[in-house]
Amino acid sequence: MSATHTTSRRNFLKLSALTSGGLVLGFNLFGTDAKAKVITPDAPFEGDVVFNSYLSIANDGTITIFSPNPELGQNIMTSFPMIVAEELDADWTKVKVIQAPLDTNKFERQQTGGSGAIPHSWKRLRVAGATAKYMLIQAAAKRWNVEPETCTAENGFVIHAASGNKLSFGELAEDASKIPVPAEVKLKDRKEFKLIGTAIKNVENKNITTGKPLFGLDFYREGMLFAMIQRPPAFGTKIKSVDASAAKVMPGVIDVITFKNNVAVVGKSTWEIMKARKTLKIEYEKDGNIESTADHDKLFVDLLNSGEATLRRKDGDVDAAFKNAAKIIKAEYQCPFIAHSTMEPMNFFAHVKEDGVELVGPTQTPARAREAVSKSLNIPEDKITLQLTRLGGGFGRRLKFDYVTEAAELSGIIKAPVKVIWSKEDDMQGGSYRPAVCYRFEAALDTSGNMIGYKLRGVGINAGNCTREDNFPSGAVDNLLIESIEHVSPITTGAWRAPITNFLAFAEQSFLDEVAASAGKDPVQFRLELLAKAKSNPVGAIKYDISRMETVIKTVAEKSGWGAKKDVAQGFSVYFSHMSYVAQVCEVAIQDSKPVVKKIYAVADCGEVVNLSGARQQVMGAIVDGFGHAMYGKLTFKEGAAEQKNYNNYRLIRMKEIPEIEPHFVDNGIDPTGLGEPALPPTGGAVANAIFKATGKRLRKQPFIEEDVFKTTG
Amino acid sequence: MAIFKIQVNGKEHQADVAADTPLLWVLRDHLGLTGTKYGCGIAQCGACTVHLNGTAVRSCSLPVSAVKSSAVTTIEGLSENGDHPLQLAWDEIDVPQCGYCQAGQIMTAAALLKKNPRPSPEEIITTMHGNICRCCAYHRIREAVTLAGTKTI
């Protein structure tokens, strides 16, 4: 895959030598697709402003690469620079990586979400590195008075093999800065990659393992105040009265401020305000529907049966197919709300000053956070700076910026620098949950066991479209109907790692397993037959790549020894989400009369793997995350209030419960298609299908741990 | 409020705080040692783990008044140059994802290795079970503790 990429001189901005003599390249190479299309149907946001990257080379050869996107554990601070360094032929040991602040003039799509960062920036970063390399080579050739074509770059040096001349990037940086920017550059063939595809360690390992202040919660500023906010404990309520007299006289408390639906205790240290907040006497009154989980359970039944649905996709004549069916299979699947429960609670520093606003903290979406603060305070965006800290987890929670705007609003009121800190209880009660959803699937089989009809009706609470109507098996079934119903609730929801598909995939892949069993077909073969049909005789639009899906299915079957093992029961699942394909086989054994998940094989096609170490982390972490939440995750409500408030009764997976995981990647040289989320959706289905194989019991409700199969006593 | 003198990472520090202030917040807000993390505040997640006379404790639930003359060690004081066998193993195995829980994970593991330099796989899992990693980097945490267990004496 060797390619030439055009850069426009007009767009290649600000090439200048620093006073220090180093080379500074300001990149804006990307005018050609500034209006990038929406990356995936699942992507919550899409930037449509111009992207810039930024790199500098110091005289000593140190290469500084600014990493624009928020780092929350997806390892972007390592993989982005790897791509630049690859095309630059830099010496990786001399690369320094720095988190860039929000800068919408320099960078585009400065956000973390939708598994979209690497797909979006892949070519841009490569061109950035290749352009700098071109200029360094030109500078060297000029100095040696040789043809640039006779020079090569390697590991931080430009080399002229014929003469044995060799100069470091650092020595060439200043001269290179005077070379005209090329209109186009040649990118490497993937066979020439030295860094990409290898396992490179997280550039922040040393800082993390020695406890350096990297996170928002670690940010302290001289004179900064601390605040904790009491928000309504139940959704659908608002403040009626506030008695803060006890809190106001407690040690360390500076003030108690009521704004919007918030009562903020402002003080000098975290513990003092935590204690003072407990003494607040606040009365709340009804301000909307007060809902409980029991109401939702009833609602699901009612809406599945008689709710008015939005049509998402219709192919063929579904009524006729079901009328003529030899066999009909029907099943319902349900999941509860779950919290993101990042390890680092929400927090943000804000300082509203006379001449502008300073914001510092962890957010997945800095540009939108700033925009919201600008609107709320009526201060122009160019007067607001936002410095990104490392994020102690995100999982979608920090795509919302409620905790940023409230910090800015509070700072504006108290006219002081303040950091608002949420407790774990605040996080868990504060909304933005994975929505509770219920699905009804129906399949019609003909006498040969072919699926001639397929229906999916989904009901979600603040879930928007809780289906992904164009995903498999759409396109492979002649008669198909997909529709969704949304119940609007005061209980706020948000994107949770692999939004919608984190549960839809489990439901759909379990149901297809039921259909295969009912048709007397092998689950893997059943999928392959459907894909063959979609390929030879497609029905309607097909928005997934059939060949890529077939490849992951066949590969995981081969790697796992599908169907050939006697001591374990195997379950299969495959899912396309965002832009990548992941197939999994789960192995379950019965121990003490209960199913135990022993191992999960995964084959991922995310296109080119940038960092093998980070990629393996994303797959293994996503599988454990998906498995853990399917097994244990549950947030219930009573009269509008979350019943689980902390890890003592909100269970997360821990070390004893993890299965062995064997990840594999398809090596196909396709440009990267993202990996932060796609390995999560298939896991629930693979696990449930393996448990069915082992026990004959279907799991149709999460969390699995509450199902009978785990209650059996030996 | 009272002045509490505590020994942290080999040095004496003092803080003028209420007696019930958890050691966690004394370290973070008063001594500027932010490597010790706040996760749950109820001793369930392990992010705030420090050593008290070499034993792993949850600093979020330990009042500063209970520390008395005990030696407190935080992640900042685990080694002089960040080269404790566990810190090296964490890099070797490339453990961190978001990294927020890792100081607590390392401190839990360090207390285990101090007591038992060659822990069995079961001892490692049982000990590390108390620490949550929301990114689910459990496989590599286990691997890194195992690796460090082959290097300490």
Tens-place pLDDT, residues A623-647: 999 999 999 999 999 999 999 999 9
Chain B residues with CB-CB distance to A617 below 8 A: 94, 97, 135, 137, 140
pLDDT higher than threshold 70 for residue A322 = yes
Taking an 8 Å cut-off on Cβ atoms, the answer to whether A211 and B101 are in contact is no
- Band of residue A44 on the pLDDT scale cut at 50, 70, 90: very low
**Rounded Cα–Cα distance for residues B70 and B52 (Å):** 6
Which residue in B17, B91, B95 is closest to A206 by CB distance?
B91
Cα R_g (chain B), whole angstroms: 15
Mean local confidence (pLDDT), A219-239: 97
Section A646-652 average pLDDT: 97
The confidence band for B142, taking pLDDT boundaries of 50, 70 and 90, is very high
Question: Hunting for tokens 């019991």 — which residue is that?
Answer: A697
Alpha-carbon distance A710 to A8, whole Å? 62
A705-714 per-position pLDDT tens digit: 999 999 865 4
Q: Distance, in angstroms, between A622 CA and closest chain B CA? A: 8
Mean pLDDT of A473-494: 98
Return the residue of A nearest to B24 by Cα.
Answer: A271
Q: Is the pLDDT of residue A50 over 60?
A: no
Strand order in the sheet with A451-461: A310-315, A479-487, A451-461, A437-445, A327-335
- pLDDT of residue A42 exceeding 80, the answer is no
State mean pLDDT over A275-279.
Answer: 98
- Rounded to an integer, the average pLDDT of A271-288 is 98
Residue scoring higher pLDDT (A179 or A374): A374
Q: Which residue of A has its CA nearest to B96?
A: A205
Residues in chain B: 153
CA B101/CA B132 separation, integer angstroms? 7
**Distance (Å) from the alpha carbon of B40 to chain A's nearest alpha carbon:** 5
The burial class, CB within 10 Å (0-12 / 13-18 / 19+), for A378 is exposed
Residue keyed to tokens 């202030």: B21
- Angle at which helices A501-518 and A612-632 cross, to 10°: 70
Segment (H or E) for B104: helix B102-115
Most B CBs within 10 A among A218, A343, A620, A627, hence the mutation to make, goes to A343
Q: Do B37 and A341 touch (CB under 8 A)?
A: no
For residue A46, what pLDDT is reported?
29
The whole-number pLDDT of residue A105 equals 83
A71 vs chain B: nearest CA distance in angstroms? 7
Q: How far is A647 from chain B (nearest CA, A)?
A: 6
d(Cα A678, Cα A675) in Å, to the nearest integer? 6
Cα of B69 to nearest chain A Cα, Å: 22
Question: Are A344 and B37 an interchain contact pair (Cβ–Cβ within 8 Å)?
Answer: yes
Q: Tokens at residue A401, please?
A: 């910026």
- Among residues A323, A346, A337, the alpha carbon closest in space to that of A641 is found at A337
The alpha-carbon gap from B83 to the nearest alpha carbon of chain A, in Å, equals 9
Closest-approach residue (CA) in chain A for B81: A210
Q: Taking CB atoms and an 8 Å cutoff, what residues of chain B touch A212?
A: 35
Mean pLDDT value across chain A: 91
Beta A384-388 vs A184-186: how paired, if at all? unpaired
Query: How many other C-beta atoms are found inside a 10 Å radius of the C-beta of residue B4?
Result: 21
Residue matched to tokens 């680092």: A344
pLDDT of residue A49: 18
Where does the pLDDT of residue A45 fall: very low under 50, low under 70, confident under 90, or very high at 90 and above? Answer: very low
| Residues of A whose CB is below 8 A from B139 | 620, 624, 658, 661
Q: Which residues of A touch B141 (CB under 8 A)?
A: 655
State the average pLDDT over residues A397-409.
98
Residues of A in contact with B44 (CB under 8 A): 646-648
What is the average pLDDT score of chain B?
97
A199 interaction partners in chain B (CB closer than 8 Å) = 94
pLDDT at B25: 98
Contacts of B131 in chain A (CB under 8 A): 654-655
Contact B38 A217 (CB under 8 A): yes
Residue B97 to residue A212, Cβ atoms within 8 A: no
Interchain proximity A621–B137, CB inside 8 Å: yes
Listing DSSP states for A302-338 in one string gives: HHHHHPPPEEEEEES-HHHHHHS-SEEEEEEEEE-BB
Q: What's the confidence (pLDDT) of residue B153?
A: 54
Closest residue of B to A339, CA-based?
A: B134
pLDDT, position A391: 98
A contacts of B142 (beta carbons < 8 Å): 655
> So what's the pLDDT on residue A79?
96
Under 8 Å between Cβ of A7 and A185 = yes
Position B152 scores a pLDDT of 62
| Cα separations in angstroms, A273 against A65, A264, A265, B38, B70 | 40, 9, 6, 15, 27
Q: Considering only CA atoms, give the Rg of chain A.
A: 28
Cis, peptide link before residue A473, omega less than 30° from 0: yes
The pLDDT of residue A104 is 86
pLDDT tens digits, residue range A430-463? 989 999 999 999 999 999 999 999 999 999 999 9
- Of the listed ranges A65-69, A277-281, A683-687, B136-140, the least confidently predicted one is A65-69
For A493-514, write each residue's pLDDT tens digit. Answer: 999 999 999 999 999 999 999 9
Contact A346, A427 (CB under 8 A): yes
Tell me the percentage of chain A whose pLDDT exceeds 70.
92
Of A341, A343, A655, the CB nearest to B129: A655
Strand A63-67 with A95-99, pairing: parallel
Given an 8 Å threshold on Cβ–Cβ distance, is B74 in contact with A211? yes
Strand partners, A605: A581
Tens-place pLDDT, residues A563-598: 999 999 999 999 999 999 999 999 999 999 999 999
Q: Could you give the ipTM of this predicted complex?
A: 0.99
- Residue A63: pLDDT band with limits 50, 70, 90: confident
pLDDT grade for A535, boundaries at 50, 70 and 90: very high
Write down the residue that tokens 């019943």 correspond to.
A643
Q: Please answer whether residues A256 and A266 qualify as being in contact, where contact means their C-beta atoms are separated by less than 8 angstroms.
A: yes
Residues A279-297 have a mean pLDDT of 97
Q: What one-letter code names the amino acid at A668?
A: N
Question: Do A269 and B25 make contact, defined as CB atoms within 8 angstroms?
Answer: yes
How confident is the model at residue A39, as a pLDDT?
A: 21
Whether A19 shows a pLDDT value over 60: the answer reads: no
pLDDT of residue A278: 98
Report the residue of A210, A426, A625, A657 to disrupt the B interface, i.e. the one with the largest count of B CBs within 10 Å.
A210
Task: Quote the minimal CA–CA distance from B10 to chain A in Å.
Answer: 16
Nearest to A647 among B82, B125, B132 (CB): B132
CA distance A496 to chain B (A): 13
**Minimum-distance CB partner of A628 among B86, B99, B136:** B136
**pLDDT, mean of residues B98-117:** 97
Tens digits of residue pLDDT in A99-156? 888 988 878 888 998 888 999 999 989 998 999 999 999 999 999 999 999 999 999 9
